Amino acid sequence: MKLNVQKRIAASLLKAGQNRVVFDNTRLNDIKEAITKADIRRLINDGAIKAKQKKGISSFRTNKLRLQKRKGKRKGIGSRKGTKTARTPRKRAWITKVRVQRRFIKLLKIKKLVAPETYTKVYKMIKGNQFRSKRHLKLYLDENNLFVKKK
């Protein structure tokens, strides 16, 4: 029993490829007799002709990877493309470092742990790139006894 014409018409009506069109085996005689688009449309509505679901691409592995990356994994040396400065530009690194240090001395000034003149002096030193990090800044303040003594 050849049903090529019916399959072609059904495919155009279902907006699917001919390989995705499936006929109900119990209603093959009805399908054979259907020769117009209207007949095929009626059979589609009755459920005698259906289209298989499209095969999709699963995003399970992608989501799994995304979760790992969100946790900070998969960022080792082997996964990196680009130099250190390409990944975080020098300017961005500088901005981050300076902001951390400025926030720290501002906090010390608010808590009255450093004198206002010390604050100004250290602020300018930070601007001049004197300190590598917040820890280095803290070490400098400790070594030079710039913390205000509590009475």
Q: Please report, rounded to a whole number, the percentage of residues in the chain having pLDDT higher than 70.
A: 99
pLDDT above 80 for 61: yes
Q: Which residue has the tokens 């601007």?
A: 127
pLDDT for 149 equals 81
* Residue among 119, 113, 118 nearest 148 (CA): 113
- 36-39 long-range CB contacts below 8 Å, 24 or more apart? 37/9, 37/13
pLDDT of residue 1: 81
Helix H segments across 51-114?
Answer: 60-70, 84-87, 90-110
Q: Which fold has domain 4-51?
A: 50s Ribosomal Protein L19e, Chain O, domain 1 (1.10.1650)
Express each pLDDT in 85-123 by its tens digit: 999 999 999 999 999 999 999 999 999 999 999 999 999
Read off the pLDDT of each residue in 46-60 and give the average, rounded to a whole number.
95
pLDDT over 90 at 130, yes or no: yes
pLDDT on residue 122: 98
- Residues 76-84 have a mean pLDDT of 94
Is the backbone of residue 82 left (phi > 0), alpha (psi -120 to 50) or beta? Answer: left
- Residue 51: beta bridge partners? 21
Q: What residue spans in the chain does CATH classification 1.10.1650.10 cover?
A: 4-51
Fold of the domain spanning 85-143: 1.10.1200
Indicate where the chain has its CATH 1.10.1200.60 domain(s): 85-143
pTM of the model: 0.60
